[in-house]
Amino acid sequence: MASRYWVVSLPVQNSAASVWNRLQEQISKHSFDTPLYRFNIPNLRVGTLDSLLALSDDLVKSNSFVESVSHKIRRQIEELERVSGIESSSLSVDGVPVDTYLTRFVWDEAKYPTMSPLREIVDGIHTLVAKIEDDLKVRVAEYNNVRSQLNAINRKQSGSLAVRDLSNLVKPEDIITSEHLVTLLAVVPKYSQKDWLASYETLTSYVVPRSSKLLYEDNEYALYTVTLFGRVADNFRIAAREKGFQVGEKFVMQVDL
């Protein structure tokens, strides 16, 4: 179970050390079994009162933005954990475990110099988070693209006859090819098999009688062959589709004998 932390800001009257000691005493007095950690913030350049008030208004927007990006990252992690079935326990901040980062926080002087105006520090944080959000969008798009490709491959390999690759279901001897004849593959709903067998010879002219052969069935569809003159293949496909049979270019297989 993840730890929860409260960040408490207290006014300093005499010194920060005295406030910290008093807080520890009060917590201990009431027997709260709660560990305390000091979140050390260095002295920053406050600037003028006007600039501080203006920055205070902007901080509300910046805080909402940072919080929004953090929630996006959290939701994406939860989605990846749900899909993979693996719960991640190695999340970190700059290579440091989250709990350690919070309880032993150290200001990054190199990234955010304390001599810089507060405005520059806030803008720097905002820019960094915006870049993280952009990187997240790119990575999510790449992940969704790969996932879609993988799903398409899985459908072709194990999906219904309407979407899967049919090449491994058809043998060379199932296909008749000649100067004038072609063999088409038809995916027929299982409830329409009788209709197919009764009508395929009359969907167009020049269909070879009794040429349809059942090759494979799944829970929803049946795969049939039909042989006809190549010059009427397009007319046959159109007529078949009107009756709910799937016959198209992707179902045509030509074999060199």
Q: What is the pLDDT of residue 159?
A: 63
**All domains of the chain, ordered by start, with CATH?**
7-36 (no CATH), 43-157 (1.20.1460.10), 172-247 (3.30.70.100)
Residues 54, 57, 60, 62, CA torsion sign: negative
Q: What is the pLDDT of residue 32?
A: 66
Positions in the chain whose pLDDT score sits under 70: 1-2, 31-32, 88-90, 154-160, 163, 248-257
pTM for this prediction: 0.57
Q: What is the pLDDT of residue 242?
A: 92
